[in-house]
Amino acid sequence: MSSLIQEKVKQALALLDEFDTDCWITFVRESDITGDPTLDLIYGSSATWHTAFIFSRTGKAYAIIGNYDAETVEQTEAYDEVIPYIKDFNTPFKRLMAELAPRSIALNYSTESEISDGLSHGMYLTLHNLLTDIGLADRIVSAEPLVSALRQRKTETEMAAIRSAVAATEAIFDAVGKYMKPGFSEARIARFIHDEVARRRIGYSWNPASCPAVFTGPDTEGGHYAPSERTAEPGHLLHIDFGVRIDGYCSDMQRTFYFLKDDETEPPEAVVRGFNTVVEAIENARVAMIPGKIGNDIDTIARSYLTDRGYDEFKSGLGHQVGRFAHDGTVLLGPAWEKYGKKPFHPIETGMVFTLEPRVFVPGHGVASLEEMVVVTETGAEFLAKPQTELILIS
């Protein structure tokens, strides 16, 4: 954890120059209750009393923190100065900020990005009042560009954890493919996956009630809800949406299976065509993912490929970022829908990890859906797992 914190603190200090910002503050209290998502990247533990992690364009990082928590910060060896207090946060905070006298002070609030919006309204008012006392309140700006970049540009330590999570997810998918039989319920399949997660002593990427999400047959299009007692029958497409968390980092992947009828040796043509269309849409999008491309453009490539072949457009974005959460980061591969705001109109960058997850509905059989994970490199996007290019057949 210390190496990760050191990497991210160093990265944060460099971002101040890039975004022409003199000072960035992450401000928390009782962080186990009202934690800021950024805290895991720059501290990695809990903060009890009012605590400020302050990054200055002078190249120094400071932590003003309650005395009992100060040693935890010291152990990260990431901060130039740790300032513990017993009775009074306000005095050391105002003293340091007056000395720094920054022209701009970035705080963690945003109307567009949930991962940049960790500062509660009450804590914002507290900071505003303190900065007013020393004549700096008019210098407050949103830290969204800083927080987004810090979260999205993965370091070596972060990528190692994500790759471990992806590898574990692949292994569990392989195991459940060998386990499933016609007549098994979605819930039974999910319980097998839960047993595999427990055996490996790893975590889930989201709430276990719907991780995995398991959907079979033509009576469901799948979504964010728990597996049911609906059974997988011959002729059904079944897809599983699943991810695990290792060392604080997540995977998020989907695989599609087809349950052969007694008189079938291969799936029907309509099923194969639908599945192959999804595979091809993913590959077309991946090839186009070079740094600087806009997320909306990548979504359009995959979405148009499906609709041009007669399928309805999928009812979500093509892909989201993955990191400490299954849905992470600001930049999105998505359409110009109101609910996504400006997220699809930012450029993709080296170090970002995305999902690619189009889907099609095959009448009479169900949903063909895949979710592949890729990392953006200087030359393009690379798969983090072996992509599924053929239906997994269950007989």
Domains of the chain plus CATH, in order, are 2-151 (3.40.350.10), 156-394 (3.90.230.10)
Residue-level pLDDT at 27? 98
Asked if 144 and 341 touch (Cβ cutoff 8 Å), the reply is: no
Q: Which residues pair with 258 in a beta bridge?
A: 237, 393
SS3 content of the chain, % helix, strand, coil (to 5): 40, 25, 40
What is the model's pLDDT at position 234?
97
- DSSP strand pairing (372-377 vs 366-369): unpaired
CA distance 206 to 50: 29
- Asked if 216 and 230 touch (Cβ cutoff 8 Å), the reply is yes
CA distances (Å), 95 to each of 8, 58, 101, 109, 227, in order? Answer: 26, 16, 10, 24, 55
Residue with tokens 């010291």: 74
Say what the pTM is.
0.94
Beta strands in 23-125 (DSSP E): 23-28, 51-56, 61-66, 81-85, 105-107
Residue 2, pLDDT score: 83
Residue 135 to residues 124, 130, 139, Cα–Cα distance (Å):
16, 9, 9
CB 108 within 8 A of CB 134: no
- Identify the residue whose tokens are 């995977």: 251
**Whole-angstrom distance, CA of residue 284 vs CA of residue 358:** 12
| 193, 194, 200, 201 alpha-carbon torsion, rounded to 10° | 160
* pLDDT for residue 222: 76
Alpha-carbon torsion 363, 364, 366, 369, what sign?
Answer: negative
What are 66-70's contacts with CB under 8 Å, separation 24+? 69/45
DSSP 19: T
Judged by DSSP in three states, 301 sits in helix
Q: Which amino acid is at 239?
A: H
Beta strands in 143-286 (DSSP E): 203-204, 213-216, 237-242, 244-246, 249-250, 253-259
pLDDT tens for each residue of the chain, 395 residues long: 789 999 999 999 999 999 999 999 999 999 999 989 999 999 999 999 999 999 999 999 999 999 999 999 999 999 999 999 999 999 999 999 999 999 999 999 999 999 999 999 999 999 999 999 999 999 999 999 999 999 999 999 999 999 999 999 999 999 999 999 999 999 999 999 999 999 999 999 999 999 999 999 998 877 778 899 999 999 999 999 999 999 999 999 999 999 999 999 999 999 999 999 999 999 999 999 999 999 999 999 999 999 999 999 999 999 999 999 999 999 999 999 999 999 999 999 999 999 999 999 999 999 999 999 999 999 999 999 999 999 999 99
